Structure 1
Amino acid sequence: MKKNRWLIALSAVAIHLSIGGAYAYSVYKNPIATELGWEASQITIAFTIMMGLAGFSAALFGGIVEKLGPRKAAMVAAVLFGLGQGGAGLAISMDSVVLYWLTYGLLSGLGMGIGYISPVSTLVKWFPNKRGLATGMAVLGFGSGALITAPVAVFLMESVGIANTYFILGISYFTFMILGALYIAPPKPGDVEESIATGNKKPQEIAQLSAREAVRTKHFWMLWGMHLINVTSGLMMISVASPMAQEIVGLSVASAATMVGLMGLFNGGGRLIWAAASDYIGRSNVFVIFFAIQLIAFLTLPFTTNVIIFQLFIFLVVSCYGGGFSNLPAFASDLFGTKQLGVIHGYLLTTWSLGGIFGPIIVSAIKEATNSYIPVFYVFSFLIAISFGISLLLRSDVNKLKKQQAIEREKSKADKKTPVHS
């Protein structure tokens, strides 16, 4: 039976919405601390473990995901993530912070990393003419998962307690991920030709490389470096947005909380909008725009006293952060093909874990040393300027390679038309 590619996309969204629910961890912190007396730092360690493992497990298990295929890999992710979230309920019942680290942290982190990359390369193959839109839809689900989980978790904790909340959510995540896994599959020959014929032309890949070949190219490390700085900047902003806005422009606590909620919308919306736009203006151009916007933002924010303008710049930075994640696999497929996209994407996602470490550490260190957030903007302006330069070089390389390929294709066509004389 021929599968519907939009249902494939919906299956990917179901998987990403589930694992994205882990971003709602902050709603558990106060209830756990109040009920069990755990230190805030002990609770946060579980999230740190999970996020650190998510990026590195994507890289570590990328090859296995490619061998298993998206369906089996997503099933493995469903088991690990479901056990991690449900097991957290057991840890709460037993009042064991170590078990909480092993379940919510370790198991959920492994499940998140495998679940994140499982559908992406498949979606790229189903939507060869709309790669940005396809990956944007899935990653939008990941970015929006916390928006759904947070209010549900709060309601459940008030109704049935913390442990039962984890049990219910663990079972729910497992169910949604399994349902997505059961339908998702790579396209068979002929499945996507009709959509290509009626839609945009299939983009020309610069090369078809294995993961081992890709990491030996300068383009891989240019993309890796750009994304690392983009993630570090975004997570820095996300980690201190509320106190930063209160200090610099005098935003009230309530207004800062509202701003943080809106940041979630720009994070999620940026993933879809920037990715869809990249199908028309090109991935290399989108990354140039990302860093141009952020460079202007970080150089302007120290002098901004207007509350609305200050928040607008923060929203733009966060949208670029989200857009980087959705454009990353599509850009990788343009540069290196879809031969081992899952593995290559996994390697690139090590920036996710590193950025999660560097961003909050850098901003905290600067704040402690200077007792101000203002120097943070200058440090990140320098980093963003480096990425802006890399993005311009990468765009230049991509354009040259595409022109060279176009010339070679025209020459090949001309050679085929030339009559052969005996």
Structure 2
Amino acid sequence: MANKNRWLIALSAIAIHLSIGASYAYSVYTNPIHNTIGWSTGQITLAFTIMMGLAGFAAAFFGPFVEKQGPRRSAIFAAVLFGIGQAGSGLAVVIDSHVLFLLMYGVASGLGLGIGYISPVSTLIKWFPDRRGLATGMAVLGFGAGALITAPLADVLMNSVGVSTTFYILGISYFIVIVLGASYIAPPPEGWMPAKMKRDIASGEKIIKRDLGQLSAKQAVKSSRFWMLWFMMLINTTAGIMIISVASPMAQEVVGLSAAAAATMGRYYGCL
């Protein structure tokens, strides 16, 4: 595995996050779905609520699964779940089944989102022991850019081929992009370091910084620091996601933005 290019590993991780990050453009679908089959805003946004809840659940509890199966298999599994969830949402719109829509966009996409989010991150950090902040930043870059790309693309597709076909096209596209990213990603050998980092350590020019602490999951949940960080993130994400789920229709009604511009604005707000 050492002969792999770590920058291509980073690109693979970005490709995976680029696809699953498209979920943050969800509000661009709200008005088109309502106009197509008449579901209420509450019914439509419920799918997003389920998806986000299950994404958090999957990211929290599927860590051992990802470590056991490896980033490649885990990401492919996420591609299947997320791709089926997105494409299946199109079928739910065609047959006017709200329950199927909740199962597809909410449950399947949510689990795929959570597993797909964590699959490349730990591997990417291992390839960049000298630039761990950059590594995680590149992954988050892909996640954030997903919505910025999807919002205008989905808007154009829905205006030209309709809501259901848009879900089919995007679902298949997400599956292909995630699988392509997963096909290259792999962990480095145990203890791997880039050559320059090894030379700097050997010459004394660089000292490896020790982590402030290493805790298992069971140890972490017993610490006050974990719960303070968890509560802070809960407030942050709850406020952001509440806006994201209705950003597009709200901005269109209040300030007259286009669907794509409104969804993009909502994604930006959610990142703050």
Q: Secondary structure at the match of 2:188?
A: coil
1:36 aligns with 2:37: yes
CA distance in 2, matches of 1:21, 1:40: 20
CA distance in 1, matches of 2:161, 2:60: 38
- Per the alignment, residue 6 of structure 1 pairs with 7
Equivalent pair of 2:27/2:263 in contact (CA under 8 Å): no
1:211 aligns with 2:217: yes
1:155 aligns with 2:161: no
Give the 5 Å matches for 1:6-25: 6-25=7-26
- Per the alignment, residue 55 of structure 1 pairs with 56
CA distance in 2, matches of 1:68, 1:105: 24
CA distance 1:201–1:18, shift in 2 (3 Å): farther
Match of 2:236 among 225, 230, 233: 230
CA distance 1:93–1:238, shift in 2 (3 Å): closer
CA shift, 1:96, in A, is: 0.9
Equivalent pair of 1:196/1:202 in contact (CA under 8 Å): no
Moved more, 202-211 or 65-74: 202-211
Equivalent pair of 1:124/1:131 in contact (CA under 8 Å): yes
CA distance in 1, matches of 2:49, 2:68: 29
Equivalent pair of 2:17/2:139 in contact (CA under 8 Å): yes
CA distance in 2, matches of 1:146, 1:96: 26
Quote the sequence identity (%).
Answer: 62
CA distance 1:23–1:189, shift in 2 (3 Å): same
CA shift, 1:143, in A, is: 1.5
Amino acid at match of 1:165: T
Q: Secondary structure at the match of 1:25?
A: helix
Equivalent pair of 2:25/2:244 in contact (CA under 8 Å): no
Equivalent pair of 1:128/1:203 in contact (CA under 8 Å): no
- Per the alignment, residue 118 of structure 2 pairs with 117
- Per the alignment, residue 104 of structure 1 pairs with 105
Q: Secondary structure at the match of 2:59?
A: helix
Q: Secondary structure at the match of 1:204?
A: coil
* RMSD (Å), alpha carbons: 2.9
CA shift, 1:212, in A, is: 2.2
Equivalent pair of 2:45/2:245 in contact (CA under 8 Å): no
CA shift, 1:198, in A, is: 6.6
CA distance 1:96–1:195, shift in 2 (3 Å): farther
Post-superposition CA distance 1:62-93 (Å, at most 9, x none) = 22111111111111100000000011111112
Amino acid at match of 2:71: P
Post-superposition CA distance 1:333-355 (Å, at most 9, x none) = xxxxxxxxxxxxxxxxxxxxxxx
CA distance 1:54–1:195, shift in 2 (3 Å): farther
Equivalent pairs, count: 263
CA distance in 1, matches of 2:199, 2:262: 42
Structure ranking higher on relative contact order (CA contacts 8 Å, 6+ apart): 2
> TM-score, normalized by length of structure 1?
0.56
Post-superposition CA distance 1:231-267 (Å, at most 9, x none) = 345456767989999xxxxxx7158997984574576
CA shift, 1:153, in A, is: 1.0
Amino acid at match of 1:220: F
CA shift, 1:112, in A, is: 0.3
CA shift, 1:190, in A, is: 5.7
Equivalent pair of 2:47/2:101 in contact (CA under 8 Å): yes
CA shift, 1:194, in A, is: 1.6
CA shift, 1:192, in A, is: 2.1
CA shift, 1:168, in A, is: 0.8
> TM-score, normalized by length of structure 2?
0.85
Moved more, 200-209 or 128-137: 200-209
CA distance in 2, matches of 1:37, 1:244: 17
CA distance 1:203–1:236, shift in 2 (3 Å): farther
- Per the alignment, residue 203 of structure 2 pairs with none
CA distance 1:24–1:239, shift in 2 (3 Å): closer
CA distance 1:85–1:202, shift in 2 (3 Å): farther
CA distance 1:147–1:71, shift in 2 (3 Å): same
CA shift, 1:167, in A, is: 0.8
Match of 2:255 among 253, 256, 260: 253
CA distance in 1, matches of 2:45, 2:61: 24
Give the 5 Å matches for 1:75-154: 75-154=76-155
CA shift, 1:154, in A, is: 1.4
CA shift, 1:20, in A, is: 0.8
CA distance in 1, matches of 2:165, 2:244: 30
